[in-house]
Amino acid sequence: MAEKQKYHHGNLRKSLIKAGLEHIESGRTEILSLRSLARELGVSKNAPYRHFKNRSYLIKAIADEGFSMLYDSMTENLTGIEDVKEKLSLIGLGYVRFSLKHPGLYRMMFAAAGSVKCSMSKAELESQSNLPPTFLLLSDTIKEGIEAGIFTHLGLKEATIAAWAFVHGLSSLINDSMALGFPGLDLTDEAIFRSIETVLFTGL
């Protein structure tokens, strides 16, 4: 009974997200449902539905938490950095590092975005922010470089998409290679930073 009293109405939503996140991080997504989490947290089977309409909305909330964690990783080492190229490379490093530390969550975050939107009403879709903080961070940094005359080859939108595509692709390839046991990958911060810096600013 004490366990059931622990998860009252005020913190059940947060507890559901936390428990769902733990399932995803450990690869136990096959039992990730509102009812299974209700049993795990010791509340009634209907209690989670006060906070989430269905499983898709829980997944979206977990994905939102993941993007918040991603933002923290991307900004972790930016304090005191003035050089725009170094700042952009550190943002990319934080992105890749997050994907390596949380591979299951990383994959789920992007997979969930499209599937959840398909189940939303028009009003719900219109209330969603078009540009997440992670994208704005990257875009604002590139804008800073363009205005300073450092980045001159592409417009803001094209440069932002290109930079995002590179770090996202690098993250996915590294994760897939690790899963396949691909040998010889140098995953030190220095090596990843150097790869990002070279491709973004020098080219192959």
Q: Would you kindly state where each structural domain of the chain is located, as residue ranges?
A: 63-105+130-201
Q: Give the domain 63-105+130-201 fold.
A: Tetracycline Repressor; domain 2 (1.10.357)
**pLDDT band at residue 202 using 50, 70 and 90 as cut-offs:** confident
Q: What pLDDT score does 27 carry?
A: 80
Q: What is the CA radius of gyration of the chain?
A: 20
**pLDDT band at residue 204 using 50, 70 and 90 as cut-offs:** low
Closest to 100 measured CA to CA, from 79, 70, 75? 70
| Average pLDDT over the chain, rounded to an integer | 84
Q: Write out pLDDT tens, residues 45-70.
A: 888 888 998 888 899 899 999 999 99
pLDDT at position 126 over 70:
no
Buried residues in 102-117 as b, exposed as e (16+ CB within 10 A): bbbbbbbbeebbeebe
Q: What pLDDT score does 139 carry?
A: 93
